[in-house]
Structures are given as C-alpha cells and as structure tokens.
Chains A and B, each alone.
Chain A
Amino acid sequence: MSGNVGIVIVSHSIDVAKGAADMVRQMVGEDVSVAFCGGNSEGGLGTDVTRILEAINSIWSPKGVAIMVDLGGAETNSEMAVEMLPPERRGSIVICNAPIVEGAVMAAAEAAGGGSLEHVRAAAEELSAG
C-alpha cells in the first residue's frame, strides 16, 4: 500500500494484465500500488465486472485509482464496475484513454512521484494525443 494514486490494469487476457503489471513494478518500483485482472468468470478471454471491482478495492487509495483498459468490453465493464462502487468512491476513479502497457507505465511513474489523479490520467493519455 502507498498513499499514492493506485493503478488497475484490466485486459481481456490475464497474461497481458499480469505482464503489464510486472513491467510497472520493474520500471517504476514499489511506490505505487498496482492491481490487475483479466479473463472472464470461466478463465477464458474477457473481462469480468466482479474481478474489476475486487481489483479496484484491493488497492483503494484516498488519492484515487486510475484504470487502464485494452479493448471495448474492458472499458464498458470497467465503467459498470465504477458505477457499482459506493458513491463516495466514484468521484475518485478515472478510466484512462491510453494504450494499456505504455499507459500503465506512464501513469504509474506519475503516481509514484505523488501526482494527483488528474496528473496521472494526463500522463497516460498524453500517449494517445498523437
């Protein structure tokens, strides 16, 4: 746990999610909490609202949580998970529009430096700005 913004990585593939989280830990270190999830409830490719909720709650930080997603369903299911959080948490969570691996590393680097949720999101989304 840390007092910094937390990062959640949501991929259709648990291997991609875990790999991205491994890269964050190696490149950014332990000053940021990272949780990841991937796969549907039967272990196949997909995303699962329950697991996304668990991932968010496992690293909850008062400074907020930034979610990195891969394709369509990961984003839709993440939005659904955010709506199912208690109202006081909903305002402190963002889904970043960024490539999942690079976005996770950039967001984590910003978070590890103590950046605010908005700065963390901006760091990840800068990658999509072209």
Chain B
Amino acid sequence: MIVLSTERIVASADELCALDRAIGDGDHGTNMKRGLKAVLAQAEDIAALPAGEALSMIGKTLVMTVGGAAGPLYGSFFLAAGAAIAGGRRLPEDLADVVAAGVAAVGARGRSTAGEKTMLDVLVPVLDALRAEAGRPDLIAHVKATARQSTERTAPMVATKGRAAYLGPRSAGHIDPGARSSCLMVEAVCDILEERL
C-alpha cells in the first residue's frame, strides 16, 4: 500500500507541479516526491510496525522531508490517524474515525475548512462517504469516485486559504494541487483494498 501510493504520487509529480504553477509556486510535485521517496526508503521498516506506529512514522517522515506547507499538513494527517489507533481505534472497523482524526488535524493545522479550495475539499467528502455509505457493497468504488469528483469540483472554487488565496478570483479555473495529490493517495489506497478484498 505504501509502495503503490508513493509510486503513484512520484509518477504524478510533474502534473502536480504544473497544477501548482497555475495557482501556487510550482513545487507541490517535487515536494511530495521528495517526502514520499523518503517514506518509500523506509517502507519495509514501516510495514513491519503495528498500524498506529506505521502511520505515525509516515507522518513524521513527511513533516521532516516534504519542505512545503504540504509536509506539516499531510504529516499531521498521518500523525493524528496514528494517534487515533494508538488511542484504541481499530482498522478496518473504525476506518471512518481514524480518517476523521486525520482530517480534523489537517483542518486545525491549516486553520481551514472545506470550501476553501484545498486538500480538505477532497478529504472531507471522502470522510463523509465513508461515514454515510458504510454498508454499501461498492463502498470502495464509491469513495474513489467521490475523491475524483470532489477534486474536479475544486476547479471553479476561489481559494481563500493557502498560497492560491493571494490570487483571489484568478485562482478559479484550476484544480487545486493539494486536492489532486489527496485524490491520488485515496485512489491508490482504494485500488489496493479492491485487489485484496
């Protein structure tokens, strides 16, 4: 799971940079690539850990290596998700609660909520889908579709948080790079789950 998610983001680094050049400073792809390569280098060690500690280690690695604001944001997601498991939540039955802890941490770190053209515009709908549609037999496919659709929906939004906010109305018309990288991660995790279940 770590390897595939990482490879997908690394492979999409140029696309993320291109999105970021449109409304940011053009480094989201290279930053994510650097962070995820660092995660990849430790993939074996991480995979050997219990789930909570594994998530925390991914979070710490991202915080230390990504370099842009995405480091603390994604890092906080994984650290909080790891802490939720350390606090007694279990996978897979408490998945929505674990994701919720991560999403809350991203919101707190970025002082942001959904609707501001950020990664939260993918993570919050994904969380809502996990919660509302939990019993659905095609839940994974539904989550993937939600991630993709909500990524597209960031295009017309006007950014009010993050670097793109400096552009104001000119940020409309471009997909948010953080939303796109979140979507890539959600899709990669879903693909693995589909293969295994």
Binding site for B on A (CB under 8 A): 40-42, 44-50, 71-73, 76-77, 79-80
Complex Cα distance A9/B174, Å?
33
B75 touches A80 (CB 8 A): yes
As a 0/1 sequence over residues 17 to 39 of chain B, the CB contacts with chain A under 8 angstroms (1 = contact) are 00000000101001100100000
Binding site for A on B (CB under 8 A): 25, 27, 30-31, 34, 63-65, 67-73, 75-76, 109-110, 162-163
A50 touches B64 (CB 8 A): yes
A46 touches B31 (CB 8 A): yes
Considering the complex, give the chain A residue whose CB is closest to the CB of B34.
Answer: A42
A72 touches B162 (CB 8 A): yes
Find B63's partner among A40, A49, A71, A72 (CB 8 Å cutoff).
A49
**Shortest beta-carbon contacts, A-B, top 5:** A40-B67, A46-B67, A73-B69, A80-B72, A76-B69
A41 touches B72 (CB 8 A): no
A40 touches B64 (CB 8 A): no
For residue B67, which residues in chain A have a CB less than 8 angstroms away from its CB?
40-42, 44, 46-48, 73
For residue A72, which residues in chain B have a CB less than 8 angstroms away from its CB?
69, 162-163
B69 touches A45 (CB 8 A): no
For residue B30, which residues in chain A have a CB less than 8 angstroms away from its CB?
44
For residue A41, which residues in chain B have a CB less than 8 angstroms away from its CB?
34, 64-65, 67
B69 touches A40 (CB 8 A): no
Complex Cα distance A44/B25, Å?
12
B71 touches A49 (CB 8 A): yes
Considering the complex, give the chain B residue whose CB is closest to the CB of A73.
Answer: B69
- B26 CB → nearest A CB, Å: 10
B31 touches A76 (CB 8 A): no
B110 touches A76 (CB 8 A): yes
Complex Cα distance A71/B63, Å?
17
Considering the complex, give the chain B residue whose CB is closest to the CB of A42.
Answer: B34
